[in-house]
Structure formats: C-alpha cells, structure tokens
Structure 1
Amino acid sequence: MGGGTFNATTYLLDSHIDAGLGNAVAVRSRDCSLTYAELLDCVAHAAGGLRDLGVRPEERVLIVLLDGPDWLAAFLGTLRIGAVPVPVSTMLTSRDLIGIAQDARPRVAIVSDELASLPGFLAGTGWLDHIVVAGPPGTAAQAREHPRGRQIHRWQDFMQAAPAAAAATTTETPGFWLYTSGTTSFPHAAMHRQVDLRTTAEAFGSQVLGVRSDDIAYSVSKLFFAFGLGNSLTFPLSAGATAVLDRRPPTPTSVAEVIQKERPTLFFAVPSFYASLLAAEVPKDSFASVRAAVSAGESLPAEIFHRFRKRFGVEIIDGLGSTEALHTYLSNRPGQARAGTCGTPVPGYEVRIVNGEGRPVAPGKPGHLLLRGDSIATGYWADAAASRRVFEGEWLRTGDVCSCSPEGVFTHLGRANDMLKAGGIWVSPTEVEAALLQHPSLLEASVVGQPDHEGIERLVAYLVARPGQVPAEHELGAFVRERLAAFKRPRRFVLLPELPKTTTGKIRRTELRSYPWPGEQRADAVTCASASADQAV
C-alpha cells in the first residue's frame, strides 16, 4: 500500500499527549468532561472492544449514536484499528437505517439505546453479528442474545476490553464513509481516507478559522453530518481545543442554554437554524463569547446575515462544502464576509466554473462548479455509474451552479437540478428566495418549479412566516414586483407551518415539487397570494 505512515487517532490525540497536553479538556457534554488523556483511553478501549469482536482492518462498523464522548470513542476507535466507521443520522427511520445497513453490510453496529428507531432496526438487520448498545439501560438491550442469534453487548461491558494500539495505517488507508443527504435519491456512501481529516483541519480549520488550543467549538449540526464532523471533531481535536457536544435535538432554547453555559468561541449552524434563532426569544448577549459564527449546508440568505449581525453583533461566515469534499472549500473570511456570497477558495482547493460543454464561463455568468483538492472522496461505494458522473479524474463535479465576480468572489445560485426556467430564461431559486426574505414577515422561503393546470412550469414560493406575522394577501406580489424582474417572480405564494427538510437541515425541494398545484394544496398549506399572469411571466 502506498503513502506515508498516518493514523488519524495519533494525529488528533496521541500527538497532544506526547506534547504534554494530556490534561487539557478535549470534550464537554451535559454528562461529563474528558481530557485528551481520558479521551485517548476511551478510544483505545473502544478499539480493543472492536478487535475482540473480530473486526478486521477495512471492515465497516455502523455508528448510530447521539452526539457525546461515546460517539467520539466509537468513531476514532474504529479508525485506530484501521477499520471503517460509517456514521449515520440518528433521525432516520428504522426503514432508512435498514436500507443503509444493507448497503454498507457491516458485521458490527454501535447504537444509542434511546433511539425510537432502534427496535425496528434490530428486527430488520438479521445479518449483523454484534450490536453494541450505548446509553442508559433500555428494553432494546436487556438480553445478551437476540432471537436471530446475534450478540447484544452493553457499552460498559464492551469498553472493558484491553486497549489497542494504533494500527500501522498510511495516508492511502481507507478511512470512513459518510452518506450524502439524499435530497433527490437514495444517499450515496462517499468513501474517505483517514488523511482527509488532516487535510480539512489544515485548510479550513487552520487557515480560515485559525482554530487555537484555547478555542471552544460548539456545533448545532451533529457529528454524523460532514459539516458537524469537522466542527466538533476534526477542527477542535487537531488544535488541542475543546469540543462541546449535546445529545439533545437542537432547538433555539436548548442551543441558547448551551451557549450561555459553555461560552463557545466558535459556533456552527446551517442557515435555517440561524433563521430559527432570529425568530426565538434568545437574549441579545448570547453570542458575546463567539469570535466566529460559521454557516454551511445551504446558501445563507443576505437578509439572515444582516439580521443576525444587527441583533447579536456577530458576523456569520458563510461557505460552500459537500460530503464528497468532507468540509468547506469556498468560504468568506472572518472580518471580511460579503453577505449573499460563499467567498473565495479555501487554501488547498481549486475551483472552476464551466458551461454545459465543459468550457470556462465569463465572470459573472452562471455555470457548473468543479472542484479539485486533496480531501475529495475516492468515490461512491457500490455505484460505479454515479462515481463516473461525479468524480472526473482529479475534479469533482459538485452539482452546484455558481457565478464568480471579476474580483474572484463566488456566489452560489443553487443545485444544478434546482435551477428553474421561466419564459425560456434560467432563474436561480436562491436569488428569488433572498428577495422574498427581505420581507419582514417571512422567516424561510423555498422556490421551486411546478407545472400548472396546463402543464406549463411556473415558479411557486413556499414560505414560513415569522411567529405571529402572516403577510396580507396583496403584499407579496407587490413586494416582489419592486425587487425582481417579471420572469423571476413566483406565480404562487404558499404558507406552510414548516418546510420539509433532510436530517442535515437541507430543504427537500423534490418534495415541494411533488405538492399539488396551489389551489389544490395540502391541508396544512395556505395560498396567501397569487400573482397575475402579467406579473409572473
């Protein structure tokens, strides 16, 4: 096997022990606090537990855990012996979990006992040999043997194994799989090397955020999400800093509670959660300790950027990343953020914008974004056709449509399959949504194309209003007429209690497109305004 010697756990943990920093706090949660020495001990025991269960190098281990020190121990313990952790969302249904398990085909799974999906998952995954159950004792793990013959192990017993040393892995050793969010199809498993963690730490973590040993990092996005993995594991542990983890589902109230208690210096969330914070009764001084607030997952509307800075006094650093790239590769810079843009390339990454024929586009013109960098996945598991479409030699076809200003600043216009055509002219949903969110009554917006009764695709805006502020029926049509060209204006405006989202907070536009034409809408939808034909076309 090629490549120099590298094991992610020695880079993230052993190196700090060797430097005499073993007593520094590595992770804090509601239940406990671990130093780097204590976390390394947990990781080594988890690695030994997996070894005792017969896990061999490059075999997959499914991880379905709530965020906490046991998550870090399971993920890093798997890497330590050269096996491949496959973390997945704890918000998936048992059916979704079974589908991913069937795709990844692990022999061992480590799961949280609190998950509502666990009983159905246990019943549907008969090929698993071992299931390690973490968390407070519950009905799922009362017996040591499941009726289908697989072994059930309690986390406390599993962790009694003798500690394992780091395997002699290299920079080319398979590391971990991350499943894409699956907004349009069954998710793909992006296969990453162990060394990709170091690449993102030294690029975005060090050269953009400037993560230091005295930083405290708190991420609303969970560890199973590529964004959250970097925020709560890679960046703080690489710098000897502290990660704050919370097992609970995030709400504005719970997040404000954690911020006020832990006083993080680095805060991470997706755009929709920044909008939720603005809509909640969060004290204005909540973010006084935060030196950098970071956004990714989807484009951050300029209006959210301005509202957040005005209310909390903190600039949001928006960027663009992907599961395939592992983290952010285009980003604004602290103190220099430009609202409504995703900034410039992160050091170590190269980007190009091309047209449908693969030729470069002129500055300011939209095109397909291609990416080159060392953290890009090696491909998708068991999907050669998708891998060939997306991974083009050294270049990754991101699926994003962007433009680049003459000054070299990039703007994200949407996913390639989200771009809309109105009157024969391409329209960016991001631009229309940004205009709508300038309305003081609106909290969230998503614009999609839907066929009307004559089969002609029209623009429809699905909206979530701010609490207690429902826009009048005549307002929105007039509002967009002042801000958008005629062909960019939605033909219908529909209020929803909430927008459908993936487990990583991305809006499910495909689900919105499946809704009936407004006027025949769902029971929980209200058509709050409709534009006349001369306004919309």
Structure 2
Amino acid sequence: MEQPPLEIQSPPTPSASSGPELFNAAEYLLAGSPDPDRIAVRHPGGELTYGQLTEEVRRVAAGLVALGVRPEERVLCCMVDDLELFTAILATMYIGAVAVPSSTMLTGPELGKLVADSRARVVIGSAEFRDAVLAAAWHGEVRTLVLTGDDPAAEDELPAGAVGISWQRLLTLGGADPVTAPYPSWAESAALWLYTSGTTGTPKAAMHRHTDIRYVAQTYGQQVLGIGPEDVCLSAAKLFFAYGIGNSMFFPLSVGASVVLEPGRPSPALFAQRVAQHGVTLFFGVPSFWGPMLAASTDEVPDGVLSRVRQGVSAGETLPPRIYHGIRERYGVEILDGIGSTEVLHIYISNRPGRVIPGSSGTPVPGYRVQLRRDDGSVIDGIDEPGMLYIAGESLCTGYWCRTAVNRLVFHGEWMRTGDKYVRAADGSYTCLGRADDVLKVGGIWVSPAEVEARLLEHPAIAEAAVIGVRDADGLDKPVAFVVPRPGDHLDADEVISFCRAGLAAFKRPRAVLELAALPKTATGKIQRYRLRELAVDDPVTIPTVASAPR
C-alpha cells in the first residue's frame, strides 16, 4: 500500500552548558561494552552485537526525528518483547524524548486513556495488538501510528490528520541524515514514563529521569546481582514493567552483558527451552511464574535444564518459602526475593546471594534507606513492630504526571509512602505483611495475609492462595482463603482449615476456603484482592465453613 508523503524534519541542536550534568541513559547503555563485537541482544530473529545495536538504535532514532518527535515529547509503545520494542525505547531516549512502554494486556479503550494522558503524538504498536492500538489511536493527539508487520493502518482506520506507517518505513525515514550522536540530555531530564497497573483506580505515570536508570544499574544490578559481562539475562516480566526493563535492558547493557528477548507468553516449557538454548545465567521471574515452574512435569521442564543459571530472582509479591525451597531442591537454583516498585524503578529491598531468608524481602539495597512508621508518623526503631514502609533513594520518580493530589499523599520530601505494611526482624531483614488495607485485625490481634498464605502453600494439593478479610454477621473481620488446586488434585475445605490450624495460631486460620480455577491478577502478576472481596461479599452475613466460589 502506497503511503502518503511525510515531512522530514531536522533534529534540534541545543548547546551544552556548564550547568546541569549532561547524561543520556541510552548512550550510557549502548556503551556498556568496550567491545562492539560482543553479543548484546539475542532475539527470535537472531543476534545483535553492541555495535550493530547502536547502529539500529540510530536508525530508529533518525526515523523518530523525521516524524517530528521532539525532546521530552512522549512516544508510547504497545509491543511484544522483541528487537523493535527494545530499539524503540533506546532510540526514544537517545533523541531526548520520553519512552512510554505500555502494557500489552490493555484493551483499546484502556490503552487510549494512556495515549490521551501522555499526549503522545507518535504511537508504536506490534501487529499482534493491532486492534487495541488502532482503537487507542482515536484518543488524544496521535499524528503517526507505526505498526510492525506488512499491514500499516489505512487512512480510514485513523482519526483525521493521522498517518499510519510500517516499522520498516520508519527505519528508512532518516535517509542519508542519520542521528549519529545522542541528544545532550541532562541527568535530570525525563527519560521514561511507566504507568502503574491501576488495579483500584486510574493508572498513573511515574516519571523517571535519565540518571535513575544509571542508579538502579549501579545499585541493585551491580551490587546485589553482581552482574558482569559474561552474564546472560532472561526475564519472565516484560519490558513494559519497571522490573522487566531493569532485568532485560538496564542491568545487562550497563556492564556489556547479553539479554534474551522472548515475545511469547512466559510458560515454564518455553522459558526453560530459552534458558538451555542461550545459556542463561540470570533468570528473573515472579511468584506466579516460579510456582508453575516448580509444578511443571519433567517432560515440560527437565530437572537439569537450569544448570547454568547462577541466580534466580523474584519480585512483585512475596515468594512463598515452599516455592523457594522447591526450586532450590529440584533445579539447584537459589532465588533472591525482593520488593521494588514502579515509582523506585526496581528492587530496593532484597535478599543476598548465599544469605536468603525465605519468606522475607531481605535487607535494603545499597543506596536506599527505609523506615517503618506508625500511624501517627513516628518512626519505629525497634523490631517486631509492624509499620508502614517508607523508602528514599535517588531512583525515586519525580512524581506522577498530572496527579497533584496523589503526589501530596504519596511523596513526602525525599521519602515515599509505599502503602506496604512491613516488620523488621532482629537479623535486620524485612518481611511484608501485605498492603496497608489488606492486613487484618482478628479478635483484636493483627493477622498478616502473607503468613496465612505461606501456610496454605505448604499444602501439597494447593498451587496458589490468597487471603482476605470478610466481615461476619457481627461486622468483625475474619480470614477467608481463596485457593487454586494443583492440576488433578481436589480440595476439602475442612481438611485445608485443619491443615492451617496445625501450623498457625488458631485465630489466624481461615474461616472459609473458596476454590477458584485461577486467581485474578494484574498485568504485573499481583493478586487483585478487590475482586476477591467482590466474590466474598456475595454472602456478607454468613461466613461458611465450606465453600466453593464459581469456577
């Protein structure tokens, strides 16, 4: 299909000054290896060296400049984890614009809210998400829609004035005038917006600076993981997550290591195949990935397939001790569990290699400070007293885009209120008790859903579990468990409750067990507890002793 002509524009040429530090995160990452012939990216179409990756990023950058993308303007991407998304993010930052990688799990109207909120004039989408991206393009101020594949958007599929082009055409737009040098961004300049999952409200864009990317690479990446040039990284979490983009881009490129990009759904069999194929040494997942990995048959995942993995990593939610021990016993891989957030860009409390405390988030990552505070704002100095977790560190976002009221509630000077309840143990480790509104008070005593869930997951027939509080006929909160059985197993609610009573104080036991085929989750793999509450309130007066939710 013949495309309409595009006006080619020259990039702006600002002059450097002796004022703010000049730093471009894309330049920093592309220069991670002194050897241009070293493999940087392994993807379904082959491999790219650092030298080839730099040239490809410059081609994409030239195309974006030709489309009129300006410094600090947002470019929104809804794409699979493949070379196109990888280079689009780097190229956007390379020219001083702001990359906005967005969830591929959103519907068209949901994605459209992000397009409008970010005011992106250029949107890039994978052919796999064509329908959603086309629907989203009708929101906001989109002027160019770039699609991978051979079928660009037609004029009648787009709002008036918008143009649809293919990814291949984008690569040719720079012509004989490619971008050969990065835009002289300040370290404080905006580089990346990441939208929170928005499980209970409108998604918010956490705004990150170029310097934030360097900071997480030099703190968690280098000081906790000890990542080096010989490492090969594979992440079940995708590039549009803060966790995933650190795993698959910031950490490996910052030291000249390699990353494996896999656009497919992260099933145990597929990812085990990629681990073996590419000799993966750092394997990143979330509890909802590690659980199925442990439960996989030997036909799906042979026991020795992770033999070259020197470190597993988990984040998103607390990794149950049963899964930690199970993965270590079956595959010989130690998993470092930790807590991070979109607002901090990656993990800020983590276990350490050889010093894992199963069930805990570990200790603060170098470069970050944490506090536990009481409801009155006073700081907890002792141990074993639950409190609200606050975090401070240089990678903390500058705030949420156009969310003044929320910013004032969440950010307090250099500190951020995380919304997580934690407790510090005598050994200095921190253990999550759940979100602030998830912790229960049963009979006047605090109960952590995470503690009850950990006990449930010790049951040999339970694959996943979530605990929430449901009010009984007297208006008092009681723990109710939602469980997913292992394939082929059947659960007896009374037996499950008895199992919990045998390993927990009696008041912590679930008063009801509801069986589900799957737990509702966000795009990041976090359990949507509000949806479980909706199921539970179908009978707000009586808490049954045996129950089965709709399957």
Does TM, scored on the shorter chain, surpass 0.5?
yes
Corresponding residue number in structure 2 for 1:469? 489
- What pairs up with 1:225-264 in 2 under 5 angstroms? 225-264=241-280
Residue by residue, what CA displacement relative to the aligned partner does 1:88-139 show, whole Å, maximum 9, x if unpaired?
11111112101111211111111111116436525633630111112x224x
- Equivalent runs, 1:114-153 vs 2, <5 Å: 114-115=128-129, 117-118=131-132, 121-122=135-136, 124-125=138-139, 127-134=141-148, 136-138=149-151, 141=153, 146=158, 148-153=160-165
Partner Cα distance (2:32, 2:302) in 1: 39
Superposed CA offset, 1:229-262 (max 9, x none): 0000000000100000011121122112211211
Counterpart of 2:344?
A: 325
- Aligned residue-pair number: 520
Distance 1:492 1:114 in 2: 42
Output the CA distance in 1 between the equivalents of 2:212 and 2:236: 22
Name 2:296's counterpart in structure 1. 280
**Does residue 223 of structure 1 match 2:236?**
no
Give the Å deviation of 1:527: 2.3
Determine which of 336, 355, 363 is the counterpart of 2:374: 355
Residue ranges of structure 2 left out of the alignment (5+ in a row): 1-16, 541-545
The aligned counterpart of 2:436 is 416
Whether contact under 8 Å (1:472, 1:528) holds in the other structure is no
C-alpha contact (below 8 Å) 1:492/1:518 kept by paired residues: no
Task: Report the CA distance between 1:194 and its aligned residue.
Answer: 0.9
One-letter amino acid matched to 1:156: Q
Cα distance in 1 for partners of 2:275, 2:471 equals 45
Q: Which sits farther off after the overlay, 345-354 or 162-171?
A: 162-171
On the 8 A contact 1:199/1:374 being kept in 2, the answer is yes
Counterpart CA distance in 1 for 2:203 and 2:340 is 17
2:416 to 396, 421, 443: 396
Q: What secondary structure, in the 3-state scheme, does the structure 1 residue paired with 2:324 have?
A: helix
CA distance in 2 between counterparts of 1:366 and 1:300 reads 19
Residue of structure 1 equivalent to 2:353: 334
2:450 corresponding residue in structure 1: 430
Q: Alignment partner of 2:128: what SS?
A: coil
Q: Is the Cα contact below 8 Å between 2:39 and 2:47 reproduced in 1? A: yes
Does the Cα contact within 8 Å between 1:274 and 1:304 map onto a contact in 2? yes
- Cα gap change, 1:350/1:473 in structure 2, threshold over 3 Å: closer, same or farther? closer
Instruction: Tell me the TM-score normalised to structure 2 length.
Output: 0.91
Aligned: 1:497 with 2:510: no
Letter in 1 for 2:389: L
Q: 1:62 is matched with which residue?
A: 76
Helix, strand or coil: the match of 1:78?
helix
- AA aligned to 2:215 is T
Letter of the 1:477 counterpart = I
Give the whole-Å Cα distance in 1 for the aligned partners of 2:286 and 2:481.
21
Out of 155, 160, 180, the position equivalent to 2:167 is: 155
Secondary structure in 2 aligned to 1:352?
Answer: strand
The amino acid of 1:24's aligned partner reads: R
Is the contact between residue 493 and residue 512 of structure 2 (CA under 8 Å) also seen in structure 1?
no
The alignment status of 1:314 with 2:333, answered yes or no, reads yes
**Secondary structure, counterpart of 1:58 in structure 2:** coil
Task: Please list the CA deviations of residues 275-312 of structure 1 after superposition, one character each: whole Å capped at 9, or x if unmatched.
Answer: 01112222111211100000001111111111111111
- 1:170 is matched with 186
Q: 1: distance between equivalents of 2:302 and 2:99?
A: 39
The aligned amino acid for 1:352 is Q
Match of 1:94 in 2: 108
In the alignment, what sits opposite 2:20? 3
AA aligned opposite 2:365: V
Aligned AA (1:440): P
Call closer, same or farther: CA 1:411–1:119 in 2, change over 3 Å: closer
**In 2, are the aligned partners of 1:172 and 1:193 still within 8 Å (CA)?**
yes
Query: Matches of 1:200 and 1:144 in 2, distance apart?
Result: 44
Change (3 A) 1:446 1:384: same
| Partner Cα separation in structure 2 for residue 116 and residue 509 of structure 1 | 31
Q: Does the 8 Å CA contact 1:92/1:117 hold for their aligned counterparts?
A: no
What CA distance in whole angstroms lies between the structure 1 residues aligned with 2:493 and 2:339? 35
**Equivalent position amino acid for 1:154 in 2:** S
Aligned CA distance change for structure 1 residues 190 and 315 (closer, same or farther; 3 Å): same
For residue 513 of structure 2, what is the amino acid of its counterpart?
F
Instruction: Look up the equivalent residue of 1:132 and give its one-letter code.
Output: V
Q: CA deviation at 1:515?
A: 1.1
For residues 154 and 366 of structure 1, do their structure 2 counterparts lie closer, same or farther at Cα, with a shift above 3 Å needed? same
Give the corresponding residue for 1:451.
Answer: 471
Cα distance change on mapping 1:170 and 1:276 into 2, 3 Å: same
> Is residue 2:42 matched to residue 1:28?
yes
Structure 1: where are the runs of 5+ without partners?
521-525, 530-537
The separation in 2 between residues aligned to 1:446 and 1:116, in whole angstroms, is 35
Residues 442, 476 of structure 2: 8 Å contact kept: no
Matches of 2:324 and 2:524, distance apart in 1: 20
Task: Tell me the equivalent position of 1:532.
Answer: none
Map of 2:10 onto structure 1: none
Q: Verify the 8 A CA contact 2:43 2:262 in the aligned structure 1.
A: yes
1:39-76 deviation line (CA, Å, top 9, x unaligned): 11111111111111111111111111110111111111
Alignment partners' CA distance in 1, 2:237 and 2:479: 30
Shift of 1:86: 0.8
> Whole-Å Cα distance in 1 between the matches of residues 130 and 154 of structure 2?
16
- AA at the equivalent of 1:321: G
Across the aligned residues of Structure 1 and Structure 2, the Cα RMSD in angstroms comes to: 1.9
Structure 2: how far apart are the matches of 1:210 and 1:251? 27
Give SS of 2:304's match.
Answer: coil
Q: How far 1:450 sits from its partner (Å)?
A: 2.1
Deviations 1:164-210 (A, max 9, x none): 12011111111111011222222211000011110000000000101
Q: What TM-score comes out, normalization by structure 1 length?
A: 0.93
The alpha-carbon distance between structure 1 residues 297 and 119, as it changes in their structure 2 partners (threshold 3 A), is closer
Task: Indicate the SS of the match to 1:515.
Answer: helix
> 1-side partners of 2:220 and 2:111: how far apart?
31
Other structure's SS at 2:77 match: strand
